[in-house]
Amino acid sequence: MARRKLPVALLSMEGTNCDRELRVALDHLGAAPEVVHLKQFEGREVERAERRTLADYAALFVPGGFSAGDYVRAGAIFAARVRAAIGPELEEFVRAGHYVGGICNGFQVLTELGLLPGRRGGRLQRPDAVLMTNDSGRFECRPTFVAWDGGTFPPLRPVERGTRFLFPSAHGEGKLVLGGDAAARLRALEEEGQILFRWVAPDGGSARYPWNPNGSEGNVAGLTNPEGNVFGLMPHPERSFFRSQAFDWSRGGGPEGLGDGATFLRAVLDRAAERS
């Protein structure tokens, strides 16, 4: 499908390792993704021609990986550097309605920045949630399924609630823990439509381990901010972009040979293009 080349930044730093997979996926959908090291936004230790600003892009993704070795907490050092380097610019980017997405380590970074679950206004703040060590105490890497919860995330509004997606998981710290009264916070997020995805079993039913790979309360696998333009999810849609990446690829493919990850990422790009 032809589309205007939408400029998309894939923010990286030392330890990011899923940026190229995401770049291939977005490029295949007709966008113009560019892997941008945080130093390029800082203007530090790079040639003038390599410097970038957030204003150059219509959307921002924070890909997966193990930024800064996941020392302190997963995503904490990356988030601290982002806050110091481009904090005001990022707030303005979010307030302008641009899409900001975090996948796996990127979800952890956006949570550490306080953008998820976040409050209205797009302000960076102290984190009030965290992605903690999986209940199993180990790295979980396997095919997993999520279902859209029917919330307020605009790109998926045409999709039927409960639609199941195959997005593989690969994380050691993915258990969402909410600050304060966790049960009350979870109910509030449900009422506000901020639950993006929940872990589900292969038949679409309620997930238990290993289909919920981390033990996250309420089977939460992804969140949005109140406005719906910042989102994060623990599993990897870019790793199920092509049908051939699926564990059951030999049972048949979808249109263009694309998988569930393409459906999700295309929806995000379509909506981001409308806002650009």
Tokens 């029917």 identify what position?
150
* Residue 151 to residue 189: CA distance in whole angstroms: 9
Q: Check pLDDT > 50 for residue 3.
A: no
The rounded distance, in Å, linking the Cα atoms of 273 and 223 is: 21
Domain assignment of residue 1, yes or no:
no
Q: Domain residues for 235? A: 7-275
**What is the identity of the amino acid at 18?**
C
pLDDT band of 205, cuts 50, 70, 90: very high
Reduced to 3 states (helix: H, G, I; strand: E, B; else coil), residue 183 is: helix
Task: Provide the number of structural domains found in the chain.
Answer: 1
CA atoms of 242 and 240, how far apart (whole Å): 6
Q: Annotated catalytic residue: which of 112, 140, 173, 238?
A: 238
Instruction: Tell me the C-alpha to C-alpha distance, in Å, between residue 117 and each of 51, 79, 102, 112, 155.
Output: 30, 15, 12, 10, 18
Work out the average pLDDT over 164-186. Answer: 95
C-beta separation of 234 from 175 below 8 A: no
For 2, how many CA atoms within 13 A lie in the half-sphere containing its CB? Answer: 0
pTM value is 0.94
User: Choosing from 37, 98, 171, 236, which is the catalytic residue?
Assistant: 236
Parallel, antiparallel, or unpaired for β 145-148 and 164-166?
antiparallel
Does the pLDDT value for residue 253 go beyond 60? no
User: What angle, 0 to 180 degrees and rounded to 10, lies between the N-to-C axes of helices 19-28 and 260-275?
Assistant: 70
- 28 given a catalytic annotation: no
| For residues 218-236, average pLDDT | 97
Extended strands (E) in the chain: 7-12, 32-37, 59-62, 99-103, 129-132, 140-142, 145-148, 164-166, 169-171, 175-178, 195-200, 220-224, 230-233
Instruction: Give me the catalytic one of 104, 140, 171, 173.
Output: 104
Q: What is the mean pLDDT of the chain?
A: 93
Q: List, for residues 131-145, the tens digit of each pLDDT value.
A: 999 999 999 999 999
User: How far from each other are the two terminal CA atoms of the chain, in whole angstroms?
Assistant: 18
Helix axis angle for 105-112 and 76-95, nearest 10°, is: 70
Q: Write phi, then psi, for 242 (nearest 5 degrees).
A: -95, 140
> What CATH code is carried by the domain that includes residue 140?
3.40.50.880
Asked if the structure places residue 69 within a domain, the reply is: yes
Residue 243 above 90 pLDDT? Answer: no
Q: What DSSP element (H or E) covers 184?
A: helix 182-191
pLDDT of residue 207: 96
> For this structure, is 37 an active site residue?
no
Tell whether 2 is covered by a domain.
no
pLDDT at 1: 40
3-state secondary structure of 11: strand
pLDDT single digits (tens) 30-56: 999 999 999 999 988 889 999 999 999
Residue 104 a catalytic site member? yes
